[in-house]
Amino acid sequence: MTQPFRLPTAGRLDAAGTVSFTFDGKAHAGLAGDTLASALLANGVHLVGRSFKYHRPRGILSAGAEEPNALVGIHRDPARKTPNVRATVQELYDGLAAVSQNRWPSLAFDVGALNDLGAPFFSAGFYYKTFMWPRAAWERLYEPVIRRAAGLGTAPDQPDPDRYSNRFAHCDVLVVGGGAAGLAAALAASEAGARVILADEQAEPGGSLRFEDGAFIDGKPGWEWAQQTAAQLAARDNVRLLTRTTGFGYYAQNMLGLVECLTDHLAAPDPEAPRERLWQVRAKRVVLATGAIERHMVFPDNDRPGIMLASAARAYLNHFGVAVGRRVAVYTADDSAYAAAIDLKEKGVEIAALVDLRPAPQGAHVDEARALGIEVLAGHAVTGTEGRLRVHRVNVAPVNGGAPRRIEADALVTSSGWTPAVHLFSQSRGKLAFNEATQRFLPGQYVQDAVSVGAGNGTTGLGEAIAEALQAGGKAAKEAGVSKARAKVPNLEAGSTERWSSGMAGAAPGAEAGRKAMAFVDFQNDVTAKDIRQAVQEGMRSIEHVKRFTTTGMATDQGKTSNLHALTIASEMLGKPIPEVGLTTFRPPYTPVTFGALVGHGRGALFEPTRRTPIHAWAEAHGAVFEDVGQWKRAWYFPSGGEDMHAAVARECRTVRQSAGIFDASTLGKIEVVGPDAARFMELMYTNPWQKLAVGRCRYGIMLREDGFIYDDGVVGRLAEDRFHVTTTTGGAPRVLHHMEDYLQTEFPDLKVWLTSTSEQWATIAVQGPKSRDIVAPLVEGIDLSDEAMPHMSVREGRVCGVPARLFRISFTGERGFEINVPADYGLSVWEAVWAEGGKHGACAYGTETMHVLRAEKGFIIVGQDTDGTVTPDDAGLAWAIGRKKTDFVGIRGLKRPDLTAPGRRQLVGLKTFDPKTVLEEGAQIVADPNQPVPMKMIGFVTSSYWSENCGRSIALALVENGSHRMGERLHVPMEDGAIEVEVVPTVFFDEKGERTNG
Which of 169, 625, 629, 793 binds another protein (CB under 8 A)? It is 169
Does the bond joining 689 to the residue before it have cis omega, within 30 degrees of 0? no
* DSSP label at residue 933: P
Residue 898 interacts with another protein (CB under 8 A)? yes
Which of 627, 672, 981, 983 binds another protein (CB under 8 A)? It is 672
DSSP secondary structure string for all residues of 873-910: TTTTT-GGGS-TT-S--TTTTGGGSHHHHSTT-EEEEE
Phi-psi domain of 214 (left: phi exceeds 0; alpha: psi -120 through 50; beta: other): alpha
Residue 587 interacts with another protein (CB under 8 A)? no
For 242, other C-beta atoms within 10 Å of its C-beta total: 23
Residue 608 interacts with another protein (CB under 8 A)? yes
Which of 143, 706, 784, 921 binds another protein (CB under 8 A)? It is 706
Q: How many residues does the chain have?
A: 999
Rule CB under 8 A: which of 840-879 touch another protein?
Answer: none
Residue nearer to another protein on the CB measure, 559 or 600: 600
Rule CB under 8 A: which of 237-256 touch another protein?
Answer: 251-253, 255
Rule CB under 8 A: which of 258-277 touch another protein?
Answer: 272-274, 277
Who contacts 229 (Cβ-Cβ below 8 Å, separation ≥6)? 183, 184, 187, 205
For every residue of 232-283, which 3-state class applies, written as one string? HHHCCCCEEEECCEEEEEEEHHHEEEEEEECCCCCCCCCCCCCCEEEEEEEE
Residue 801 interacts with another protein (CB under 8 A)? yes
As a whole number of angstroms, the distance between CA 74 and CA 91 comes to 11
Residue 614 interacts with another protein (CB under 8 A)? yes
As a whole number of angstroms, the distance between CA 952 and CA 946 comes to 11
Which of 781, 915, 929, 992 binds another protein (CB under 8 A)? It is 781
Which of 378, 442, 785, 892 binds another protein (CB under 8 A)? It is 892
The answer to whether residues 82 and 98 touch, using CB atoms and an 8 Å cutoff, is no
Which of 475, 611, 806, 809 binds another protein (CB under 8 A)? It is 611
Which of 22, 154, 165, 435 binds another protein (CB under 8 A)? It is 165
Residue nearer to another protein on the CB measure, 129 or 167: 167
How far is CA 313 from each of CA 33, 100, 519, 988, rounded to the nearest angstrom? Answer: 17, 22, 21, 84
Helix (H) or strand (E) holding 772: helix 772-776
As a whole number of angstroms, the distance between CA 236 and CA 570 comes to 49
Strands 196-199 and 450-452, by their bridges, are unpaired
Residue nearer to another protein on the CB measure, 724 or 860: 724
Residue nearer to another protein on the CB measure, 144 or 602: 602
Strands 164-176 and 762-768, by their bridges, are unpaired
The answer to whether residues 412 and 354 touch, using CB atoms and an 8 Å cutoff, is no
How would you class 247 by CB atoms within 10 Å of its CB: exposed for 0-12, middle for 13-18, buried for 19 or more?
Answer: buried
β partners of residue 452:
288
Residue nearer to another protein on the CB measure, 666 or 794: 666
Q: Candidates 382-390, 507-515, 829-837, 965-973: pick the segment binding another protein (CB under 8 A).
A: 829-837
Which of 75, 80, 326, 601 binds another protein (CB under 8 A)? It is 601
Phi-psi domain of 553 (left: phi exceeds 0; alpha: psi -120 through 50; beta: other): left
> Least distance (Å) from another protein to the CB of residue 605?
6
Q: Candidates 161-169, 183-191, 457-465, 764-772: pick the segment binding another protein (CB under 8 A).
A: 161-169
The answer to whether residues 428 and 174 touch, using CB atoms and an 8 Å cutoff, is no
Residue nearer to another protein on the CB measure, 119 or 879: 879
Strands 762-768 and 661-664, by their bridges, are antiparallel
Q: Candidates 314-322, 462-470, 606-614, 936-944: pick the segment binding another protein (CB under 8 A).
A: 606-614
Which of 161, 402, 404, 676 binds another protein (CB under 8 A)? It is 676
* DSSP label at residue 743: I
Which of 373, 575, 609, 903 binds another protein (CB under 8 A)? It is 609
> Least distance (Å) from another protein to the CB of residue 676?
7
Q: Candidates 176-184, 363-371, 673-681, 966-974: pick the segment binding another protein (CB under 8 A).
A: 673-681
Rule CB under 8 A: which of 302-321 touch another protein?
Answer: none
Phi, psi of 621 (to 5 degrees): -65, -25
Binding to another protein by CB under 8 A, coded x per residue (else -) over 467-506, reads ----------------------------------------
The answer to whether residues 250 and 588 touch, using CB atoms and an 8 Å cutoff, is yes
> Least distance (Å) from another protein to the CB of residue 239?
14
> Least distance (Å) from another protein to the CB of residue 711?
14
Count Cα neighbours of 130 within 13 Å in the Cβ-side half-sphere: 11
Residue 6 interacts with another protein (CB under 8 A)? no
> Least distance (Å) from another protein to the CB of residue 171?
9
Residue 594 interacts with another protein (CB under 8 A)? no
Residue 622 interacts with another protein (CB under 8 A)? no
Rule CB under 8 A: which of 275-304 touch another protein?
Answer: 277, 280, 282
| DSSP SS3 for 205 | coil
Q: What is the four-CA torsion angle of 124, 130, 131, 137, rounded to 10 degrees?
A: -160
Residue 931 interacts with another protein (CB under 8 A)? no
> Least distance (Å) from another protein to the CB of residue 744?
9
Q: What angle do CA 832, 834, 838 make, to 5 degrees?
A: 115
Q: In the chain, how many H helices and how many E strands?
A: 25, 51
Phi, psi of 736 (to 5 degrees): -65, -40
Binding to another protein by CB under 8 A, coded x per residue (else -) over 181-200, reads --------------x-----
Residue 791 interacts with another protein (CB under 8 A)? no
> Least distance (Å) from another protein to the CB of residue 685?
13
Which of 830, 856, 960, 984 binds another protein (CB under 8 A)? It is 830
> Least distance (Å) from another protein to the CB of residue 596?
14
Strands 276-288 and 255-261, by their bridges, are antiparallel
> Least distance (Å) from another protein to the CB of residue 752?
6
As a whole number of angstroms, the distance between CA 801 and CA 37 comes to 72
Residue 947 interacts with another protein (CB under 8 A)? no
Binding to another protein by CB under 8 A, coded x per residue (else -) over 113-132, reads --------------------
Which of 227, 829, 870, 925 binds another protein (CB under 8 A)? It is 829
Residue nearer to another protein on the CB measure, 12 or 799: 799
Residue nearer to another protein on the CB measure, 620 or 747: 747
> Least distance (Å) from another protein to the CB of residue 805?
9
Residue nearer to another protein on the CB measure, 542 or 610: 610
Q: Candidates 81-89, 215-223, 329-337, 738-746: pick the segment binding another protein (CB under 8 A).
A: 738-746
Residue 626 interacts with another protein (CB under 8 A)? no
Residue 431 interacts with another protein (CB under 8 A)? no
Residue 167 interacts with another protein (CB under 8 A)? yes
| DSSP SS3 for 169 | strand
Nearest to 239 by CA among 180, 182, 164: 182
Nearest to 670 by CA among 803, 849, 821: 821
